[in-house]
C-alpha cells in the first residue's frame, strides 16, 4: 500500500494520531505501535497511536514514506504520504 493518510484533531497536536483505516497494512501498523479502534457510531475502524503527529511522520520517513501534501479540514490536520 503506497499511500497513507495521517491525521489528528487540532486540539490534539500531541496525540493521539490516526495512522490508518481498517484496510491498512497490519505489519506497518504494528511497526508504528498502532491499535485498531471503533468509535461509537462509526461502522468502520481506524488505527491510532498515542504519539504526536511529528513523531509518527519521523517514523514513517525512516520507513521510506514521504509527505505528498498536508491540509487542514475543519478542526483536523491531514497529511498524505507515499512510499516509492
Peptide bond preceding 51 in cis form (omega within 30 of 0): no
Write down the pLDDT at residue 39: 81
More confident residue, 11 or 54: 54
Can you list the domains of the chain with their CATH numbers?
3-83 (3.30.1410.10)
Kindly tell me if the per-residue pLDDT of 67 is higher than 80.
yes
Secondary structure, 3-state, the chain: CCEEEEEEEHHHCCCCEEEEECCCCHHHHHHHCCEEECCCCCCCCEEEECCCHHHHHHHHHHCCEEEEEEEEECCEEEEEEEEC
Mean pLDDT calculated for residue range 49-62 = 94
Can you give the pTM of this predicted structure?
0.86
pLDDT digits (tens, 9 = 90+) for 4-53: 999 988 776 677 899 989 899 999 999 999 999 888 888 889 999 999 99
Write down the pLDDT at residue 66: 96
Distance CA 69, CA 77 (A): 11
Amino acid at each position: 500500500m503506497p499511500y497513507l493518510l495521517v491525521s489528528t484533531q487540532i486540539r490534539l497536536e500531541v496525540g493521539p494520531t490516526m495512522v490508518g483505516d481498517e484496510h491498512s497494512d497490519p505489519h506497518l501498523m504494528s511497526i508504528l505501535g498502532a491499535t485498531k479502534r471503533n468509535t461509537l457510531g462509526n461502522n468502520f475502524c481506524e488505527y491510532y497511536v498515542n504519539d504526536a503527529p511529528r513523531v509518527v511522520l519521523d517514523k514513517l520517513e525512516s520507513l521510506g514514506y514521504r509527505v505528498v501534501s498536508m491540509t487542514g479540514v475543519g478542526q483536523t490536520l491531514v497529511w498524505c504520504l507515499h512510499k516509492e
